[in-house]
């Protein structure tokens, strides 16, 4: 048996670098203001984005790990529903929400939706520690506003986060999945939506009609 190095994956990374990470899934092809794009732009403009203006190769690969976790959990949701062991959670088509005065809509693309209960399901993967428990989710400004927008779009009040912590709490560094339910107040949902509509209008005034 002979084993030799066949390459370093540079060709794959070069292909990934040519893609906007928000456009690597077919559900992000619709023109308009994607909620995730709006939130990312808000963070970049405020200097709070952990990615800054650029995304390096390590981050690209981490994005791919996240996409793989999404696909795995979608299959798990389907299996649990077939076996009557859980609710039917589907990935709905993108929800196009009109913005008064703008030609481009706000676009909501939830990972999953329990249509019967009106509950949003979001699938996340992170290398950050889960030591803080519920306070970790409470500190994820981007996650909470993203899910809050989706909850608004389906006229619901709840979202469930399925969070894959690659290294758990690092004691020891082993994978762990945590599931968190967030119950929003209507005022919180409305505030999120006003913020996103306001930022969409700001982008429109700058000549940007999709993000």
* pTM of the full structure: 0.89
Average pLDDT over residues 123-147: 96
The three-class DSSP label of residue 8 is coil
Over residues 119-141, the mean pLDDT reads 96
Q: Is the pLDDT of residue 168 over 70?
A: yes
Instruction: Give mean pLDDT, residues 14-30.
Output: 59
Question: Per DSSP, what are the bridge partners of residue 182?
Answer: 159
Contact 137, 180 (CB under 8 A): yes
CA nearest 164: which of 176, 174, 172, 173?
A: 176
Q: What is the pLDDT of residues 77-99, one digit of tens each?
A: 999 999 999 999 999 999 999 99
**22-26, 63-67, 125-129, 141-145: the lowest-pLDDT one:** 22-26
pLDDT interval class at 59 (50, 70, 90): confident
Q: At what angle do helices 186-205 and 141-153 cross, to 10 degrees?
A: 100
Residue 166 has pLDDT above 90, yes or no: yes
Among positive and negative, which fits the CA dihedral 76, 70, 154, 186? positive
SS3 content of the chain, % helix, strand, coil (to 5): 45, 20, 40
Question: Whose CA is closest to 114, among 93, 142, 86?
Answer: 86
Peptide bond before 172: cis, by omega within 30 degrees of 0? yes
């Amino acid at each position: 048996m002979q084993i030799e190095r066949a390459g370093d994956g540079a060709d794959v990374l070069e292909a990934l670098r040519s893609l906007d990470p928000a456009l690597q899934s077919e559900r992000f092809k619709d023109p308009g203001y994607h909620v995730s794009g709006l939130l990312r732009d808000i963070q970049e403009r405020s200097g709070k984005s952990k990615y800054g203006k650029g995304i390096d190769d390590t981050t690209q690969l981490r994005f791919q790990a996240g996409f793989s976790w999404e696909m795995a959990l979608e299959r798990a949701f389907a299996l649990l529903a077939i076996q009557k062991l859980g609710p039917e959670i589907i990935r709905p088509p993108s929800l196009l929400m009109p913005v008064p005065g703008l030609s481009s809509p706000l676009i909501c693309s939830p990972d999953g939706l329990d249509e019967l209960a009106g509950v949003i399901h979001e699938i996340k993967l992170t290398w950050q520690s889960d030591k803080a428990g519920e306070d970790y989710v409470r500190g994820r400004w981007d996650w909470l506003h993203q899910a809050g927008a989706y909850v608004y779009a389906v006229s619901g009040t709840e979202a469930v986060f399925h969070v894959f912590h690659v290294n758990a709490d690092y004691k020891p560094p082993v994978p762990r999945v945590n599931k968190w339910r967030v119950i929003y107040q209507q005022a919180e949902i409305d505030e999120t939506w006003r913020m996103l509509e306001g930022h969409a209008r700001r982008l429109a005034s700058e000549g940007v009609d999709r993000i």
